[in-house]
Amino acid sequence: MKINVKKVLITVIIIIVLIVTLLFAFKNNKQVSNTNEIENVFTNNLISEANTLVVNMPEEQVEQAWEWQHDTLENHNINVSAISSIHNTIDSYPINAEVIVKDGVIVDEYYKNGYDPNSVFTLQSTSKSITSALIGIAIDKGYIESVNVPISNYFPQILESGSEYKSQITIWNLLTHTTGLDASDTENWDEWLASDNWVDYVLERPATSRPGTVFRYFTGNTHLLSAIIQQATGKTAYEFGEEYLFGPLDIESAQCSTDPQGISDGGNGFALNIYDMARIGELYLNNGIWNGKRIISEQWIKDSTTLQFDRSSGSADYGYQWWVRTFGDNNYPAYFAQGHYGQYIFVVPDLNLVVAITSHYEGSTSIYWQIMNNIVNACN
């Protein structure tokens, strides 16, 4: 059979042209597809009003904010009728909210009319326990050497007084209210708040006893801790807390007032909602770990919540701005943050229990001991 070479050659050329055309079309479609993908990504990455690029990450890459989980009292072996009785007691007092956390989940909560989990409460002196946490974090991160540092390192003006006692005051003394300064909330509260400079007012008080020998509860001591945080870190206690405490715990309700010089009121001025109060308790219960991340050293948690100074009086002893005592018929060891008008964060480690309470009650604190004793007994 005679082959027409010319026809074969034309056929081959046509086939080659078709193949090249198909390859070009495929490449062009792929470029268009990639361009569309880039355009879609760019479209989804919008510019916020603050002129900041907001990147919409794929769902599996977005870290979800931590949220409380809820469960029943029965599932955690808590006596339901006992808790109901506690609610009846709370009804009779100006207690605004209560949350019980057992085994890491919320098992009970109570709110007076007008309040809910988002209501933000001024913590009063429970703020002191927040400031203590921030001091611990500042030490952990090397901003402050230790609790044994003389405060004259931060306030050299006290050396000008010539007082031997004042020169011996350390951060430990501020944490434990054992500065030896002649000042207390009972005697100096109004005058201190009315002063033009809260820090200077404290530093100018006379020293009447050797540091470490006498307990005198004075919010001004904690305010000096807040001022030290600001000097050591270059940030207010509130700003430092936003970065290293509130932020990592996904706490969004935190607020803080300041003194006339803009120093965070670490002794009395923090505010949180009750869920976030409970987060602080849970962080301490878990020895400084939150959601798998170390926030505060375990040693600081231990030192803060165990006896540092035996007052030999009153209903509780003192750690680092945390109160220490037992609760329940079985005398379970516990520690708690306490604020005026009834702001509390209770932690009972042996029961894996955290209780947060907010109030506006000016009566005896014995009602809170009664409530906590009953809650603890309900867990047995």
Answer left, alpha or beta for residue 222, where phi above 0 means left and psi between -120 and 50 means alpha.
alpha
Q: Give the lowest-confidence range in 194-198, 247-251, 311-315.
A: 311-315
174-to-60, 131, 266 alpha-carbon distances in Å: 46, 11, 12
The one-letter amino acid code at 307 reads L
Cα(367)–Cα(269) distance, integer angstroms:
24
**Which DSSP state fits 24?**
H
Q: What digits encode the pLDDT tens for the residues 167-193?
A: 999 999 999 999 999 999 999 999 999
Q: Give the lowest-confidence range in 9-23, 103-117, 176-190.
A: 9-23
Q: What digits encode the pLDDT tens for the residues 252-296?
A: 999 999 999 999 999 999 999 999 999 999 999 999 999 999 999
Residue 55 has pLDDT above 50, yes or no: no
Residue 210 has pLDDT above 70, yes or no: yes
Cα(162)–Cα(84) distance, integer angstroms:
60
Q: What digits encode the pLDDT tens for the residues 60-109?
A: 445 678 999 999 999 999 999 999 999 999 999 999 999 999 999 999 99
CATH topology of domain 83-162+235-378: Beta-lactamase (3.40.710)
Cα(139)–Cα(133) distance, integer angstroms:
10
Q: In the structure, what pLDDT confidence band is assigned to residue 226 with cuts at 50, 70 and 90?
A: very high
DSSP E strand boundaries for the chain: 46-47, 53-54, 95-102, 105-111, 120-122, 255-256, 270-273, 289-290, 293-294, 317-318, 323-327, 332-339, 343-348, 353-359
Domain ranges across the chain: 83-162+235-378
Question: How far, in whole angstroms, is CA 325 from its chain's centroid?
Answer: 22
Q: In the structure, what pLDDT confidence band is assigned to residue 311 with cuts at 50, 70 and 90?
A: confident
Q: For the chain, what is the mean pLDDT?
A: 88
Cβ contacts of 209 within 8 Å, gap of 6 or more: 165, 180
Most confident of 7-21, 32-46, 118-132: 118-132
Predicted local confidence at residue 57, as pLDDT: 40
Predicted local confidence at residue 162, as pLDDT: 85
